[in-house]
Structure 1
Amino acid sequence: MLDLSTLYQVTDVKSRSISAENFTGEPGKGGMCPLEQGVSGSEARDLGLGWKVNPFIFLEPKSTFEIANIDGPGIIRHIWLTPQNRWRDTILRIYWDGQENPSVECPIGDFFCMGWNEYFQINSLAVCVNPGCAFNCYWQMPFRSNCRMTLENLSNKRDVIFYQIDYTLQSLPEEIAYFHAQFRRVNPLPYKEVYTIVDGIEGKGQYVGTYMAWGVNNNQWWGEGEIKFYMDGDTDYPTICGTGTEDYFCGSYDFEDPFTHDRYVPYSTPYAGLQVVTPDKLYRSQFRFGMYRWHIPDPIHFENSLRVTIQALGWRSEGRYLPLQDDIASVAYWYQTLPTVKFPPLPDRDYLEVI
């Protein structure tokens, strides 16, 4: 892959891009929509063909729109989207190489680390969220024969979607792993149960990231729980065991201000971040947090299976842990060999909804 030190090299890679102005990504076919067929044909009527005639799509209620169908080999390099409806009402699915089951199935907001339907800027290597609601993904997604992406509108309201999918057509190594992302939500988490971020992964690959939208239902600190990675035949005990929720997301000591000790401190870095969504008064019930952790320099490799869990732990009287009953949602990101095991069914629209 090119970086600043190799940009001068000549390659056989072909750059392509799909948007509402070029649904197929074919060379020399962008901006060709006739005025009478374009969503902005009226606005361009004085200028004519080629003048921003069809810059977005209408995603109709209770419908699915195929935003990409690309023959490979190639690599998805960048996805940019600007949904306008409630972000959990739009479901992104990605299918690799003709598979029946999607390898990515996720509400659009959570996929881009915006699980609470509120804008907060993110500056990371894998995901950037910029004003006003620009969702950007830079996960590299190789495919051998075909990539198909769809957006499903669960709502009763038409959505307006601006989007662009940038990709390259090129040769690939003999062995590749395919990008995956799976969403889950439990609200509330049953008492003394451990939250499962992902399980049932079968194949060889590497785990590369976690996003969590965590709604706290108790006072006091809520992040004592450990994350655990059960891999390659682990049963009761994991191979990798964290020391606390904030520790896993590369923070420490309750994410609190180390000087005033009276508020949470949000941060956004290339590999980890915390977005505080509700008023920043420390240790209050009904706080909502968004947290991401990218294992880009430190992927977690597995040979044939993987399960990832996290405990929800706070504090109760007499210095004892309190198993929490919080509203927790997550997205697991990983690469693996095909085929993809069928994901658990997504919750229905009412269960997904953020109130």
Structure 2
Amino acid sequence: MSRVEGLFKNLTTVKNARNGRLASWDQRGKNQDYWEIPANETITLGEVEGPGCITHIWMTSSCRRVKAPAILDPVLNASAAPVMEIGAALGVIFDDYDPFYYRKALIRITWDDQDTPSVLAPLGDFFCIGNGYPGNFSSLPFNVSLKPEEAGRYGAPCSVSCYFPMPFNKKAKIEIVNENELPFILYFNIDYEMYREPLDPDTAYFHACWNRQNPCKGWGPELLVNSPEVNNVTNYKGENNYVVLDAEGEGHYVGCNLSVRHYQGSWWGEGNDMIFIDGEEYPSLNGTGTEDYFNHAWGMQRNAYPFFGTIVHEGDTDGFHVAYRFHITDPIHFSKSLKVTIEHGHANQLSDDWASTAYWYQKLPTAKKLTILPVEQRLPNVPIWPERHLEKPELTDEMKKAIEAYNKRWEEYKPAREEQFRIKEEKCRRESKLNTEFAKKLRDEYDKE
């Protein structure tokens, strides 16, 4: 038995395991190493037989709406690297980001022989992209890497990683549910280990779920935060608290990310965290303020540390904040149930828009079925420009001909480009099956060794 201790102690012991990977690599041997996830369709990234454990998930994606005819050949351009997905050259190609696709697409993961998923969240929020607005940050279990020129844009492309270990005994099934009217491209690597021996009976399985309350039920949003009238209202049992997690079973909570859009213009984080373990009437874990739960103080700072931090700061945006707190060394244990809640303003005074992703481990089965709001209720609230009423001058013959030529080119270009999307979507469906077949082949070869 090894006496080595520490965060990386597993690296000092040889392990009887075999590595595998589900990926979007072009299985034709070409360089189209991404999948075009079809609109309004569920795509399986892969199914893996156990025993095993997912050790790392990396993804990058982009979703753009075709808005104008390009001067590039749509067939040839479809075989080029999709750099135009990241930075469309004006005049050469003009596509525009779908700003909200991170909330329209879901990641869904199901373990073993369950008929219900244990992970169900918007694709962006799962990876700590709140409101579809990516921010650079690095924590121990998650990180997001964003090009500087893409910062400050809803729906901006970036790379995301998750390092939470995800063990499974019989099977892991990873799916993307695209509830958008547009397809989007997805690059991904999902790394896993295979084991010969079954997992221990007390193995805790990774879970994640998303919640949103918009607006939170505030009793006094017109009253100034921290005023004496507000601060003297009592809240012992957490009625109307925002619920981060409401789980049943046996396991431990390992953290969350939280996105808050504040509307009063004062301070949103005055509420306490209140955590109820195993059906308590009164919470045994009481906090001192939302910023304190996220390990900040006197407001939220611009930082990102291994276990806590700010991803998007309210002072740098149009009025929302994204924060995270991970209980890696201090998980919160439960044997029957756990309810993690936070007040939205002291004693739930405020009526802000809150959304969160909770992460926890528990034994199977997933006793409480995970549900999620319909897509139209997941979209973020963003400022809207006032409607413009445009008046055109009298058109010359030259202008009329230019418009006619443009429209004719669009009539020819749009269906040709759409056809390339359909071809790539069929490649995605085909390689989805090949991923699962390859994972099965790898497992069989490993079992025969």
TM-score normalised to the size of structure 2?
Answer: 0.65
Match of 1:168 among 186, 193, 206: 193
Q: Quick one: which amino acid aligns to residue 275 of structure 1?
A: I
- Pairing of 1:334-345 with structure 2 (within 5 A): 334-343=360-369, 345=371
Residue matched to 1:288:
320
CA distance in 1, matches of 2:328, 2:188: 25
Q: Give the corresponding residue for 1:83.
A: 61
> What is the CA deviation profile of residues 269-327 of structure 1, one whole-angstrom value per residue up to 9, with x for unaligned ones?
0000112355449xxxx62010100000100011111111110116xxxxxx7700000
The match for 1:206 among 252, 255, 261 is 252
Stretches of structure 1 lacking an aligned partner (at least 5 in a row) = 22-30, 35-49, 256-264, 315-320
Go from structure 1 to structure 2 and tell me whether the alpha carbon gap of 1:184 and 1:222 turns closer, same or farther (over 3 Å shift): same
1:333 corresponding residue in structure 2: 359
Deviations 1:157-188 (A, max 9, x none): 01100011000002433420000001001111
Percent identity between matched residues is 35
CA contact (8 A) 1:64 1:152 kept: yes
State whether residues 273 and 341 of structure 2, in contact with CA within 8 Å, keep that contact through their aligned partners in structure 1: yes
Q: Does 1:180 align with 2:207?
A: yes
* Aligned CA distance change for structure 1 residues 220 and 5 (closer, same or farther; 3 Å): same
Q: Which runs of 5+ in 2 are unaligned?
A: 64-100, 148-157, 220-239, 383-449
Partner of residue 146 from structure 1, selected from 151, 165, 171: 171
Secondary structure of residue in 2 paired with 1:253:
coil
Which residue is 1:47 aligned to? none
Q: Deviations over 1:80-134 (max 9, x none)?
A: 1112232001100010012111100000111111112122111101001113400
Q: SS at the partner of 2:62?
A: coil
State the alpha-carbon separation in 2 of the partners of residues 140 and 96 from structure 1: 13
In the alignment, the residues of structure 2 paired with residue 342 and residue 306 of structure 1 have an alpha-carbon distance, to the nearest angstrom, of 11
Contact 2:271–2:348 (Cα < 8 Å) also in 1: no
Structure 1 residues 189-219: Cα deviation after superposition (integer angstroms, max 9, x where no partner): 11243211121x1211110011101110112
Q: How far, CA to CA, are the matches of 1:344 and 1:4 in structure 2?
A: 33
Range with bigger deviation, 168-177 or 215-224: 168-177
Q: How far apart are 1:5 and its partner, in Å?
A: 5.1
State whether residues 101 and 342 of structure 1, in contact with CA within 8 Å, keep that contact through their aligned partners in structure 2. Answer: no
Q: What is the CA–CA distance in structure 2 between the aligned matches of 1:267 and 1:337, rounded to whole Å?
A: 34
Show the counterpart of 1:313: 345
TM-score (norm 1): 0.82
Q: Of 87, 92, 107, which residue of structure 1 is paired with 2:107?
A: 92
More deviation in 326-335 or 216-225? 216-225
CA RMSD after TM alignment: 2.0
Determine helix, strand or coil for the equivalent of 2:140.
coil
Q: Show the counterpart of 1:195.
A: 242
Specify which of 85, 98, 102 is matched with residue 117 of structure 2: 102
In the alignment, is the contact (CA less than 8 A) between 1:181 and 1:333 conserved in 2? yes
- Aligned partner of residue 254 in structure 1, secondary structure: coil
Contact 2:218 2:344 survives alignment (8 Å): no
CA distance in 2, matches of 1:13, 1:334: 25
Aligned counterpart, 1:253: 298
Higher helix proportion (structure 1 or 2):
2
Residue 272 of structure 2 is matched in structure 1 by 226
Distance in 1 (CA, whole Å) between partners of 2:37 and 2:337 is 37
Deviation at 1:248, TM superposition (A): 0.3
Separation in 2, partners of 1:336, 1:10: 27
Aligned residues: 308
Does structure 1 conserve the Cα–Cα contact (< 8 Å) formed by 2:104 and 2:178?
A: yes
Instruction: Work out whether residues 232 and 303 of structure 1, in 8 Å CA contact, stay in contact via their aligned partners in 2.
Output: yes
Does the 8 Å CA contact 2:209/2:370 hold for their aligned counterparts? no
Distance 1:350 1:168, change over 3 A: same
> For the residues of structure 1 that align with 2:214 and 2:128, how far apart are their CA atoms?
18
Contact between 1:182 and 1:343, CA under 8 Å: does it hold in 2? no
Cα distance, 1:350–1:15 mapped onto 2, change above 3 Å? same
- The reply on whether 1:20 has 2:24 as its aligned counterpart is yes
Flag the 1:5–1:139 CA change in 2: closer, same or farther, 3 A.
Answer: closer
